[in-house]
Amino acid sequence: MKKLLVLFILAAFVSVLYPLYSSFHGSTGLTEVSQFYASKENIEKVNSQNLVTAVVVTYRGLDTLGEVTILFLTAAIIAFFLKKESDKRTLRKNSEIFKTAAKLLIPIITMLGIYIFINGHLTPGGGFQGGAVIASAVILMFLAFPNMEFSHKFFESLESVSGLVYVGLAAFGAILGLGFLDNAILPLGKFGELFSAGAIPVIYSFVGLKVGAELSNILHKFKSVQADN
């Protein structure tokens, strides 16, 4: 009976969405907004090779700011709900092979994350991806050395400082009269080189640091309530 009701609701959902689905014939071109973003003068103005990065950091920079704020709020609420309990577990020792491999791999993975968000305007990648890669390095650290004490202050201060610098760079563009989150506050440089897209690599690096610190913070919260009370 109940499943019948659910099926009825799903059928209603499908009937609402079906015209949308059947009228979709594959998009034949870009929308007007995207054509504006991909026009020649705008590409020369922003000077970023990766158009997705250009959209995320400059054109839709306010979205990114809101997204980072949501992530911060999520981390704060999770910290409020999961109070730290004393860890009294007796853990099985990790084998020596795993520890050595982790010691070798953690710096490499962190370096890969930093590479991804510094080169965000040239290759696929950017702040969010690099932050996620850094958080996975932190996960490996948690798994390999479970008894190590992590300084909570470090993640929090890293996150606050990078958020502050991010908002500061954004406001700096407004002060110079260019616009909030404009990338022209630094010289543009030659197209396709590392120091080319103005402030985009700098802003995206701080976004990456902030996202990485926040995700690591959330994961650390989930790890610290694994106590055996």
Residues 99-138, interacting with another protein (CB under 8 A): 101, 104-105, 116, 122-126, 128-129, 132-133, 135-136
CA dihedral 121, 126, 127, 130 (to 10 degrees): -140
Nearer to another protein by Cβ, of 56 and 213: the residue is: 56
**Which residue in 62, 84, 98, 157 binds another protein (CB under 8 A)?**
98
CA–CA gap between residue 67 and residue 64 (Å, rounded): 5
Residues 6+ apart with CB under 8 A from 92: none
Nearer to another protein by Cβ, of 77 and 176: the residue is: 77
**Residue 67 burial (CB < 10 Å; 0-12/13-18/19+)?**
middle
Shortest Cβ 182–another protein spacing (Å): 17
How many chain residues bind another protein (CB under 8 A)? 78
Residues 6+ apart with CB under 8 A from 139: 219
**Which residue in 78, 111, 164, 176 binds another protein (CB under 8 A)?**
78
First to last CA, the chain: 42
**Residue 217 burial (CB < 10 Å; 0-12/13-18/19+)?**
buried
195 is a site residue for another protein (CB under 8 A): no
Nearer to another protein by Cβ, of 88 and 153: the residue is: 88
33 is a site residue for another protein (CB under 8 A): yes
Shortest Cβ 115–another protein spacing (Å): 11
CA–CA gap between residue 99 and residue 144 (Å, rounded): 6
Shortest Cβ 169–another protein spacing (Å): 19
Residues 43-62 close enough to bind another protein by CB under 8 A: 43, 49-56, 60
53 contacts 204 by C-beta, under 8 angstroms: yes
135 contacts 219 by C-beta, under 8 angstroms: yes
217 is a site residue for another protein (CB under 8 A): no
Nearer to another protein by Cβ, of 40 and 153: the residue is: 40
22: tokens are 């059947």
Shortest Cβ 36–another protein spacing (Å): 9
**Which residue in 13, 111, 168, 176 binds another protein (CB under 8 A)?**
13
Question: Distance of alpha carbon 17 from its chain centroid, rounded?
Answer: 31
Shortest Cβ 164–another protein spacing (Å): 20
Nearer to another protein by Cβ, of 63 and 175: the residue is: 63
Nearer to another protein by Cβ, of 173 and 204: the residue is: 204
CA–CA gap between residue 153 and residue 79 (Å, rounded): 13
DSSP 79: H
Residues 144-173 close enough to bind another protein by CB under 8 A: none
